[in-house]
């Protein structure tokens, strides 16, 4: 029986450990993975900009979020940092995952994020009252899936250890991401850092 994109997406939601193991068996070169990550980042940025256009809201660093290119650069930079930090911290905590393993699972999760963004936009247009609830549910589900995928990539056999890796990585990523936002946001609004 043929197993396709939709089947893997369904398995990711209903059986994250099985989906993660399947993704880790994919024979994809590292260059192709980085290109796939770039594509997923661009798609996510376009969908995010579309949802902002349909449902405008005031956010900090709004010049970044209003410009799809700046948002894609910020998000892509954050993802690259996240992949390296998850690999490094996971290895420090006894995981055996290599950069390619973490990259593989993160690329797939970014394409799942594209589907999630589509769902949020669709629900927001058709059932605006449920938009916020669906966004929260997708966020919680995404974190649950991410922990399973980190666990599989590093072969921990422990969701607790995978969660700690995610928590520690989150602290490091938020620091790195805030620097990216400051630099890009500063450039977008004409601020030049004093050196």
pLDDT digits (tens, 9 = 90+) for 77-128: 888 989 999 999 999 999 999 999 999 999 999 999 999 988 888 887 888 7
Q: Describe the crossing of helices 99-126 and 131-154 by its angle, rounded to 10 degrees.
A: 170
Instruction: State the DSSP code for 94.
Output: T
Q: Is residue 195 part of a domain?
A: no
Q: Is residue 69 part of a domain?
A: yes
What is residue 88's predicted lDDT score, i.e. its pLDDT?
94
Within 10 angstroms of residue 30's Cβ, the number of other Cβ atoms is 11
Q: Is residue 65 part of a domain?
A: yes
Within 10 angstroms of residue 16's Cβ, the number of other Cβ atoms is 20
Instruction: State the DSSP code for 60.
Output: T
Residues spanned by the domain of 65: 5-188
What is residue 185's predicted lDDT score, i.e. its pLDDT?
60
Q: Is residue 193 part of a domain?
A: no
Q: What is the mean pLDDT of residues 2-31?
A: 91
Encode pLDDT of 58-77 as tens digits.
Answer: 555 556 666 778 888 888 88
Predicted TM-score (pTM) of the model is 0.83
Q: Is residue 63 part of a domain?
A: yes
How many structural domains does the chain have?
1
Q: Is residue 82 part of a domain?
A: yes
Q: Is residue 78 part of a domain?
A: yes
Compute the distance between CA of residue 149 and CA of residue 109 in angstroms, rounded to an integer.
Answer: 9
For the chain, what is the mean pLDDT?
Answer: 84
Q: Is residue 106 part of a domain?
A: yes
Instruction: State the DSSP code for 129.
Output: G
What is residue 130's predicted lDDT score, i.e. its pLDDT?
80
């Amino acid at each position: 029986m043929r197993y396709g994109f939709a089947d893997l997406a369904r398995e990711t939601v209903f059986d994250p450990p099985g989906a993660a193991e399947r993704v880790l068996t994919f024979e994809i070169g590292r260059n192709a993975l980085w290109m796939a990550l770039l594509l997923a980042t661009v798609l996510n940025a376009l969908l995010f900009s579309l949802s902002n256009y349909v449902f405008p809201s005031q956010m900090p660093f709004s010049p970044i979020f209003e410009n799809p290119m700046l948002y894609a650069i910020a998000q892509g930079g954050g993802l690259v940092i996240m992949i390296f930090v998850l690999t490094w911290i996971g290895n420090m905590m006894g995981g055996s995952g290599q950069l390619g393993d973490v990259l593989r699972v993160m690329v797939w999760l970014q394409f799942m994020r594209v589907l999630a963004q589509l769902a949020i936009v669709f629900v927001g247009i058709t059932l605006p009252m449920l938009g916020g609830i669906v966004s929260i549910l997708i966020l919680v589900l995404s974190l649950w899936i991410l922990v399973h995928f980190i666990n599989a990539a590093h072969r921990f056999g422990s969701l607790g250890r995978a969660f700690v890796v995610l928590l520690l990585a989150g602290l490091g990523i938020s620091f790195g991401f805030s620097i990216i936002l400051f630099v890009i946001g500063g450039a977008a609004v004409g601020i030049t850092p004093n050196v």
